[in-house]
A = this chain, B = another copy of it.
Amino acid sequence: MVYELAVISVKPGQEAEFEAAARQAIALFQRAKGCTGMEIRRSVETPTEYHLSVKWATLENHTVDFRGSEDFQEWRRLVGPFFAVPPQVQHLETTFVGF
């Protein structure tokens, strides 16, 4: 299992529109191959910054299957207009869950 973490900077003043569009996109992730979770958090210190965290069974489920899908284009169509800059995407694996 791998986490995609996308740090998304939203154009100032378009936070509510971005959040609504991201909610609309939940179904895209729900039906994506190997996707088992998706949530969004917002920075307290930088309120235009969001962290999209998506759980994938494998790295390739994100980088190959999802990014190669029509639903990725739909995701970008929904939320892309609110991006201030291209998202910074990385992947993380759990080292340990303390509690």
- Residues of A whose CB lies within 8 Å of any CB of B are 2-3, 5, 19, 22-23, 26, 29-30, 37-46, 50-51, 59, 90-99
Asked, given contacts A51-B92, A92-B51, whether A98 binds B44 with beta carbons under 8 Å apart, the answer is: no
Nearest 6 pairs of A and B residues by beta carbon: A41-B92, A26-B98, A38-B98, A44-B91, A39-B97, A40-B95
Interface SS majority for chain A: strand
Chain B residues in 8 Å Cβ range of A99: 26, 29-30, 37-38
In Å, the complex CA distance between A37 and B97 comes to: 8
Chain B nearest CB: distance from A30 CB in Å?
6
In Å, the complex CA distance between A36 and B84 comes to: 33
In Å, the complex CA distance between A21 and B97 comes to: 14
Interface contact A90-B59, CB-CB below 8 Å:
no
